């Protein structure tokens, strides 16, 4: 039965209930993000399990906190015992501090830079412009620079996502034949460091803005050099392979093309460029639903977008580059391998 016929078979009453559940899911999202920001899972794990104890630890109103906990228990985030204490569930364990904790990611989702921007979706759809500057009074980079606590949460979120996805990326692509690997806009270097650990014969070059390099250069990673600069101005020359992971989706086509042209200029005839991004299907696929919503997030918070293979091909063609291969990774990312024409 195709999707259209299946939809017709759903009664108006059931369709209405499903639509209402989807429309009110923002309430659950906000409650979960609040639990993450308050650190409730860590407190419960430490043995602080009664409402009055929890409220005292986070300076919260006990009755208001109880009402939050009651809602979170109802969706399975926590469990209430017979003696009115709270316990962790498999979902809330993921919020406890650990290398793979989702606490920082969910805290970021509850920040005004995300939450407030989504509240202006109608304005962005009408204007085609990001909402974040109207919400914050500044662009996202300046907001992070002026709010070190939020910047820390954001960086921790990126690190967790890297730890989740990097193993699959390394399984999907062989870096052994590339002696010099240049990670462009590589941030804190999680991907590059993982590559160097897996391939002990390779040399890495982490290239990012001066304040980023300053914050990470003291890491003293073996076989890794740190280079400061702006990929809109130039890209280091003489690399064997260049890596752009989640860079192009931050920018509109004009800016993305400028980055690609600088890569093309830096590459020798044998060099390769890897674009690691979420790649959308040409047709709408329900399995990519989350990617479509993150594309909307790019609309709200930047000039960027997620793209299809065809859209990447068009940009690459304008930069005198072409696709050699596309590697699926078993994650939301694909690896697009490119070379000079």
Domain containing 300 — which CATH number?
3.40.50.150
Q: Where is the domain boundary, 102, 120, 147?
A: 102
Q: Are residues 312 and 175 in the same domain?
A: yes
- Domain termination site, one of 80, 102, 124: 102
> Is 211 domain-assigned?
yes
Residues 172 and 38 in one domain: no
Q: Considering its fold, how many domains does the chain have in total?
A: 2
Same domain for 70 and 218, yes or no, is no
Asked if 321 and 273 count as a contact pair (C-beta separation under 8 A), the reply is yes
What's the domain range around 298? 164-340
State the Cα angle at 217 between 215 and 218, rounded to 5°: 90
Closest by CA position to 102, among listed 29, 21, 187: 29
Same domain, 199 and 329: yes
- Co-location of 58 and 180 in the same domain: no
Among the candidates 50, 75, 102, a domain finishes at 102
Query: Angle formed by the axes of helices 62-74 and 25-38, to 10°?
Result: 120
Contact (Cβ atoms closer than 8 angstroms) between residue 56 and residue 13: no
Q: Is residue 126, in this structure, part of any structural domain at all?
A: no
Q: Does residue 260 sit within a domain?
A: yes
Please give the pLDDT value at position 1: 44
Q: Mean pLDDT by 10-residue block, N- to C-terminus, for the chain (341 residues)?
A: 57 93 95 96 96 96 97 97 94 94 94 93 95 91 87 88 94 96 93 95 94 79 92 96 97 97 97 97 94 96 95 98 96 96 94
123 within domain boundaries: no
* Identified catalytic residue from 4, 61, 211, 249: 249
Measured in degrees and rounded to the nearest 5, phi and psi for residue 245 equal: -105, 120
Structure tokens at 160: 């967790």
249 is annotated as an active-site residue: yes
Give the H or E element holding residue 340: strand 333-340
């Amino acid at each position: 039965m195709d999707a259209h016929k299946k939809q017709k078979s759903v009664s108006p009453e059931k369709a209405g209930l499903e639509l209402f559940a989807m429309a009110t899911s923002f309430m659950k999202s906000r409650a979960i993000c609040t639990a993450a920001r308050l650190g409730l899972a860590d407190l419960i794990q430490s043995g602080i399990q009664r409402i009055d104890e929890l409220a005292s630890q986070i300076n919260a109103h006990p009755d208001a906190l109880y009402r939050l906990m009651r809602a979170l228990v109802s969706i399975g985030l926590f469990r209430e015992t017979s003696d009115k204490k709270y316990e962790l569930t498999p979902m809330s364990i993921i919020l406890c501090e650990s290398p793979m904790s989702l606490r920082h990611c969910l805290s970021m989702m509850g920040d005004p830079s995300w939450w407030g921007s989504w509240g202006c979706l109608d304005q962005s759809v009408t204007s085609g412009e990001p909402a974040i500057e109207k919400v914050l009074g500044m662009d996202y980079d300046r907001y992070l620079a002026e709010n070190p606590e939020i910047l820390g949460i954001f960086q921790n979120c990126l690190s967790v996502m890297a730890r989740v996805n990097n193993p699959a990326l390394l399984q999907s692509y062989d870096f052994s034949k590339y002696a010099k690997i240049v990670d462009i806009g590589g941030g804190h270097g999680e991907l590059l460091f993982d590559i160097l650990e897996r391939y002990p014969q390779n040399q890495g070059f982490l290239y990012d803005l001066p304040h980023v390099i300053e914050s990470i250069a003291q890491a003293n990673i073996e076989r890794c050099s740190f280079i400061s600069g702006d990929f809109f101005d130039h890209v280091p020359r003489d690399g064997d392979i260049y890596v752009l992971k989640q860079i192009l989706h931050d920018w509109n086509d004009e800016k993305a093309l400028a980055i690609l042209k600088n890569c093309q200029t830096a590459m020798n005839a044998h060099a390769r460029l890897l674009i690691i991004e979420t790649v959308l299907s040409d047709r709408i696929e329900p399995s990519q639903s989350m990617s479509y919503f993150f594309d909307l997030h790019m609309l709200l918070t930047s000039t960027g977008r997620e793209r299809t293979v065809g859209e990447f091909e068009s940009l690459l063609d304008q930069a005198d580059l072409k696709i050699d291969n596309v590697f699926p990774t078993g994650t939301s990312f694909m690896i697009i391998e490119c070379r000079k024409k």
